[in-house]
Amino acid sequence: METALHGRIAAALERVEQGTCDRLMLLLPPRHGKSELASRRFGAWYLGRRPDKSLIAASASATLAEGYGRDVRNIINSDTYASLFDTRISEDSKAKGRWHTNADGQYYAVGVGGDVMGRGGDVFLIDDPFANMADAQSTLKRERVWEWYTGTAYNRLEPGGAIILINHRMHEDDLSGRILAQQAAGGDTFEVIEFPAISDGGQALCPERYTLEELKRIKANTLPRFWSALYQQHPAPEDGDYFKNDWLRSYAAPPERDTLRVYGGSDYAVTRDGGDYTAHVVIGLDPKGRIYLLDLWRGRTDSAVWIEAFCDLVEEWAPIGWAEERGQIRSGVGPFLTRRMRERGAFVHREGFSARGDKSIRAQSIRGRMALDGLYVPVHADWYADFETELLSFPMGKHDDQVDALGLVGQLLDKMTARTTRPATKPDTDRWDRLFAERDKEEMSWKTF
């Protein structure tokens, strides 16, 4: 069944065959048809159009790669294929994963790490370089894949040859991550196409394959870090640099509302579809000063939508105060926000903070609190996977709106919970006390006469 997703993948692969793209990276969730198109049908289609060319196809294991090679060979041997192309399998080719065409082209299947010496490829296709998540988490195995890519695969390209890497992200330092880091340092420029399972707007990538409800069920039963990598193509560090993973402490239900002091904060994105999100966060402090992340709203919407979401949170949680950046709210939406708060009765004191300075510095307060007592988080919340990924990737991650909102709350806490320490006052003394101070020590005070 052809879907809009498959059409987009096919269009990208066609650009490789046409010579308009020589470095392609396709990032898709598991079980969304990438191998059927890339490792099976593309190979047959490419050799049908270019029977004198060479295609090297690699997968995590030689067995898997050879299985794809058998499937490509069977497609070429089919009657339907024969009605479309003149390409045939050479009569002296017997191996299921290594054979020639009747125009002296060739197909060569190899496992990642395998030897391809003596062979060149006009197209080098790599489909899932890691067999499983455990392999991708191994520093040693990631290094071996990288050494094979740079020392073996890359050097087998024919002049003008193309590389196709199609997989789902598994680690920030997986093969895709290394290639992207190399690209940033001046290496090859890849056309990168990301396909998150659930879009920013909340739509399923391929509802014909997995409905939104099915994806949410997968998400609920997958570690947040793995969901973010495998399904959303946004891997997070295992620990984190600025924020540490062990600072995040799970809770099933928060403390009773009347035991908490509740605060909120917002990072506003004033322009819709400008690439940034608006984020609202609500936190609660228990009597021991422990911080609970109670609620979070995040969206790439116009101001009318996020203002209603803001009012919803204020009405639900009745916070003591709310933090925001001065510059953002003065850009034109401030009066509208104030009017809607009054219309809905969603009253809260809003405290503005300067947006000047480095984001890391502005988040120091909440970071310090988290380092001391942790941040208690609802790990089963729908939004938690994205929150954890952004937090652990900060400040190098793609987005920082949730961190910014949390950092603003930290600044608000500093201001609203600060205690002014008054200097100790001395007891009042009169001149007779001072005059007879020394005599008092000798129990000669006139007050005893």
Beta bridge partners of 265: 281, 323
CB 416 within 8 A of CB 349: no
Same domain, 137 and 272: no
Pairing relationship of beta strands 98-100 and 106-111 according to DSSP bridges:
antiparallel
Tokens of 238: 């295992």
Whether pLDDT at 90 is above 70: yes
The tally of domains found in the chain comes to: 2
Strands (DSSP E) along 133-233, which ranges?
Answer: 157-167, 191-194
Say whether both 337 and 405 belong to one domain: yes
DSSP 8-state code for residue 36: I
Tell which of 187, 220, 253 closes a domain.
220
Same domain flag for 64 and 107: yes
**Digit-coded pLDDT (tens) for 103-115:** 999 999 999 999 8
In this structure, the chain runs to a length of: 449
Q: Are residues 36 and 147 both part of a single domain?
A: yes
- CATH number of the domain where residue 253 is located: 3.30.420.240
Q: Which of 220, 253, 282 is the last residue of a domain?
A: 220
Domain identity same for 360 and 286: yes
Residues 216 and 240 in one domain: no
Tell me, yes or no, whether 166 and 250 share the same domain: no
One domain for residues 254 and 202: no
| Residue 228 covered by a domain | no
Same domain flag for 302 and 171: no
Q: What is the pLDDT of residues 212-238, one digit of tens each?
A: 999 999 998 888 889 989 999 988 777
**CA 258, CA 283: separation in Å to the nearest integer?**
14
Asked if the structure places residue 428 within a domain, the reply is no
Examine residue 178 and state whether it is found in any structural domain, yes or no: yes
pLDDT for the residue numbered 397: 77
CA 110 to chain centre: 31
Owning domain of residue 83: 4-220
Residue 34, pLDDT above cutoff 70 = yes
Q: Are residues 111 and 249 in the same domain?
A: no
Q: Are residues 133 and 241 in the same domain?
A: no
CA distances in angstroms from 431 to 50, 136, 154, 426, 444, listed in the order given? 109, 81, 93, 15, 16
Asked whether the predicted pLDDT for residue 434 surpasses 60, the reply is no
Q: Would 390 be classed as within a structural domain?
A: yes
pLDDT digits over 230-289, tens only?
999 988 777 788 999 999 999 999 999 999 999 999 999 866 555 689 999 999 999 999
Q: Could you tell me if residue 333 is inside a domain?
A: yes
Residue range 388-405: mean pLDDT, rounded: 89
The reply to whether 402 falls in a domain is yes
Residue 445 in any domain: the answer is: no
Q: Return the CATH number at 29.
A: 3.40.50.300
Distance CA 9, CA 28 (A): 10
pTM reported for the whole predicted model: 0.72
The tens digit of pLDDT for each residue in 138-180 reads: 999 999 999 999 999 999 999 999 999 999 999 989 999 999 9
- Residue 396 and residue 358 share a domain: yes
Residue 437 belongs to some domain of the structure = no
